[in-house]
Chains A and B, each alone.
Chain A
Amino acid sequence: MPATTAEPSGAVASLLWPDGGTGAGPEVQPLTEAAARDLQLAPLFDALSRDAPWLAEWYATPCADVETVVYRQQIATELEREEVAMPLATFARRIQRVRQRADAAQRVPHPYVAESWFLTNAQRYLHATTALLEELDALHLEAPGMGSCRSALRAIVAGDRFRSLASATSAAQEAMDGVAYTVRVQTGRISVDRDHGEPDLSAEVAATFARFRTGPPREVERPPVEPGVDHVAARILELVADQHPDAFAALVDLHRHHRPLLDPTVAGLAREVPFYLAYHERLQRIRAAGLPLCQPELVAADAACSAEDSYDLAVALKQLADGKPVVANDWHLDPPERLLVVTGANQGGKTTFARAFGQLHHLASLGLPVPARRARVGLHDRLLTHFERQERITTLRGKLEDELVRVHALLEQATPDSVVFLNETFSSTTLQDARELGTAVLERLERVGVRAVFVTFVDELASVGRATVSMVATVAPDDPTVRTFRVLRRPPDGLAHAVALADRYGLTYEAIQDRSTP
Chain B
Amino acid sequence: MNVHLLHPDHDLDLEVVLAQHAEAVSDDLGLDVLLDRMADGDQRIRAACRTVLLSGLRDVDEVRYRQAVVADALRAPEVFAGLYEVIVAGLDLAKRSYSGLFRDAPDAIVRRAVERLKVYTDVLRRLRQDTAPVRSRMRSEGVTRLFELFATQLDEPYLREVEAQLEELTFPRGVLFGARLGRGAVGTGFQLKRPRSQGWLSRSLDRSGASFELADRDDDGIESLGRLRDQALAEVAVVLSQASDDIEVFLRQLRDELAVLTGAARLHAALTTKGEPACFPEVVEPADGTQGAEHAASAAPRLTARGLYDPALSLQLGERAVGNDLDADGALLVLITGANQGGKSTLLRGIGTAQLLLQAGCFVPAATFRGSLGGQVYTHFGREEDQELRRGKLEEELNRMRTIVERIQPGDLLLANESFAATNEREGSELARQVFRAHLDLGVRVVAVTHLYDLADSLHRTESSRGVFLRAQREEDGERTFRIEPGAPLPTSYGQDLYRRIFGEEPATSNGLGRAPGDEGRDPQPQGGA
Q: List 25 A-B contacts (CB under 8 A).
A: A115-B185, A116-B185, A185-B232, A186-B175, A190-B225, A191-B206, A193-B205, A193-B208, A193-B210, A199-B194, A200-B191, A200-B193, A204-B165, A205-B165, A209-B239, A212-B246, A213-B243, A213-B246, A220-B235, A220-B238, A221-B234, A222-B231, A227-B186, A232-B221, A233-B187
Residue contact A235 to B212, C-beta cutoff 8 Å: yes
Most chain A CB within a 10 A radius of its CB, from B165, B185, B192, B225: B185
Interface string of A77-93 (1 = CB under 8 A from B): 00000000000000000
Looking at the complex, which one of A182, A211, A217 makes contact with B176 (CB distance below 8 Å)? A182
When each residue 87-126 of chain A gets 1 if its CB lies under 8 Å from chain B and 0 otherwise, what string results? 0000000000000000000000000110111001000000
Q: Which of A194, A198, A221 contacts B193 (CB 8 A)?
A: A198
- Minimum C-beta distance from B225 to chain A (A): 6
A205 near B213: Cβ-Cβ < 8 Å: no
In the A-B complex, the 3 residue pairs with the smallest Cβ-Cβ separation, listed nearest first, are A193-B209, A186-B174, A209-B243
What separation, in Å, do the CA atoms of A190 and B174 have in the docked complex? Answer: 9
**Known A117-B184, A181-B179; further 11 A-B contacts with Cβ < 8 A:** A120-B184, A183-B179, A185-B177, A191-B210, A193-B208, A198-B195, A202-B235, A206-B239, A211-B153, A212-B250, A231-B221
Whole-angstrom distance between the alpha carbons of A296 and B256 in the complex?
86
Instruction: Give the chain A neighbours of B208 by CB distance below 8 A.
Output: 193-194
Q: Is the CB of A181 within 8 A of B153?
A: no
**With A185-B175, A185-B232 given, is the CB distance from A202 to B183 under 8 Å?**
no
Are A233's CB and B224's CB within 8 A? yes
| A191 and B1 form a contact (CB under 8 A) | no
B173: Cβ under 8 A from any A Cβ: yes
A232-B228 in contact given A185-B175, A208-B165, A240-B181 (Cβ < 8 Å): yes
CB-based contact B211/A189 at 8 Å: yes
Known A179-B180, A185-B229, A201-B192: A190·B246 in contact at CB below 8 Å: no
Task: Considering the complex, give the chain B residue whose CB is closest to the CB of A206.
Answer: B239
CB within 8 Å of A: which B295-336 residues = none
**Would you call B193 and A199 a contact (CB within 8 A)?**
yes
Contact B242 A218 (CB under 8 A): yes
Interface size on B, residues (CB 8 A): 63
A231 touches B220 (CB 8 A): yes
List B contacts of A206 (CB < 8 A).
Answer: 239, 243
B214 close to A (CB within 8 Å): yes
Within 8 Å by CB of A185, from B153, B174, B206, B247, lies: B174
Say yes or no: B240 contacts A205, CB within 8 Å. Answer: yes
Q: Which of B162, B191, B250 contacts A202 (CB 8 A)?
A: B191
Q: Does A397 contact B (CB under 8 A)?
A: no
What residues of A have a CB within 8 angstroms of the CB of B174 in the complex? Answer: 184-187, 189, 191
In-complex Cβ contact of B227 among A193, A196, A223 (8 A):
A223
Q: Scan residues 222-278 of chain A and give those whose CB is less than 8 A from a CB of chain B.
A: 222-223, 225-233, 235-237, 239-240, 242-243
How many angstroms between the C-alpha atoms of A199 and B181 in the bound complex?
19
**What are the residues of chain B within 8 A of A208 when measuring CB–CB?**
161-162, 165, 243
B-side interface mostly: helix
B186 touches A229 (CB 8 A): yes
Q: CB-CB < 8 A to A188: which residues of B? A: 213-214, 222, 225
CA–CA, A217 and B232, complex, Å: 18
Cβ-based interface call for B275 (8 A): no
Whether A198 pairs with B230 at a CB distance below 8 angstroms is: no
The A-contacting residues of B in range 129-161, CB under 8 angstroms, are: 153, 161
A180 contacts chain B at the CB level, 8 A cutoff: yes
Nearest opposing residue in chain B for A251, CB measure: B185
A183 near B228 with CB under 8 A, answer: yes
**Contact assessment for B168 and A201 in the assembled complex, using a CB-CB cutoff below 8 Å:** yes
B174, B183, B239: most-surrounded residue (chain A CB, <10 A): B239
Residues in B neighbouring A230, C-beta threshold 8 A: 220, 224
Contact with B along A129-169 (1 / 0, CB 8 A): 00000000000000000000000000000000000000000
Evaluate contact between B212 and A239: CB separation under 8 angstroms. Answer: yes
Total residues of chain A contacting the partner, CB 8 A: 63
Q: Which residue of B lies closest to A244 (CB)?
A: B181
A211 interface neighbour in B1, B192, B236, Cβ under 8 Å? B1
Residues from chain B with a CB closer than 8 A to the CB of A12 are none
B8 at the interface (CB under 8 A from A): no
Give the residues in chain A near B183, CB-CB below 8 Å.
116-117, 120
Nearest CB to that of B229 among chain A residues?
A185
Name B379-435 residues within 8 Å CB distance of A: none
Q: Is A513 an interface residue (CB 8 A)?
A: no
* B196 within 8 A of partner (CB): yes
Smallest CB separation, A507 vs chain B (Å): 77
Is A347 an interface residue, CB under 8 A from the partner?
A: no
Cross-chain contact A195 with B178 (CB below 8 angstroms): yes
* Shortest beta-carbon distance from A114 to chain B in Å: 9
Q: Which of A221, A227, A236 contacts B187 (CB 8 A)?
A: A236
Closest to A209 in B: B243
Inter-chain contact B185/A112, CB cutoff 8 Å: yes
Whether the pair A182, B192 counts as a contact (CB closer than 8 A) is no
| A232 and B184 within 8 A (CB) | no
A192 to B209, CA, bound (A): 5
Query: Which listed residue, B105, B180, B195, touches A177 by the CB 8 Å rule?
Result: B180
CB of B508 within 8 A of chain A?
A: no
B184 touches A214 (CB 8 A): no
Does B88 have its Cβ within 8 Å of any Cβ on chain A? no
Contacts of A239 in B (CB 8 A): 210, 212
**Closest residue to B175 on the A side, CB-wise?**
A185
CB distance from A185 to the nearest CB of B (A): 5
CA distance A212 to B123 in the complex (A): 14
B490 at interface, CB cutoff 8 A: no
Question: For chain A residues 375-410, which have a beta carbon within 8 Å of chain B?
Answer: none
Query: How many angstroms from the CA of A115 to the CA of B184 in the assembled complex?
Result: 8
B106 touches A214 (CB 8 A): no
Q: What is the chain A residue whose CB lies nearest that of B187? A: A233
Given contacts A113-B185, A214-B249, contact A202 B212 (CB under 8 A): no
A190 to B175: give the CA distance in the assembly, Å. Answer: 10
Q: Which residues of B contact A227 (CB under 8 A)?
A: 184, 186
Q: A176 interface residue, CB < 8 Å from B?
A: yes
B192 contacts across to A, CB distance below 8 A: 200-202
Q: Which of B162, B188, B205 contacts A196 (CB 8 A)?
A: B205
Bound form: Cα–Cα A194–B169 in Å: 22
Partner of B186, one of A115, A198, A233: A233
Q: Which of A308-357 contact B (CB under 8 A)?
A: none
Contact among A177, A202, A209, A229 with B184 in the assembled complex (CB-CB below 8 Å): A229
- A101 to chain B minimum Cβ distance, whole angstroms, is 9
Given contacts A205-B165, A205-B236, A230-B224, contact A191 B178 (CB under 8 A): no
Q: How far is the CB of A370 from chain B (nearest CB, A)?
A: 45
- In the complex, the chain A residue whose C-beta lies closest to that of B230 is A223
Binary per-residue interface labels of chain B (187-204) against chain A in the complex, 1 for a CB within 8 Å, 0 otherwise: 110011111100000000
Q: A120-B183, A214-B246, A240-B181 are in contact. Are A190 and B211 (CB under 8 A)?
A: yes
Closest to A219 in B: B238
Contact yes or no, B176 A183, CB < 8 A: yes
Closest to A180 in B: B180
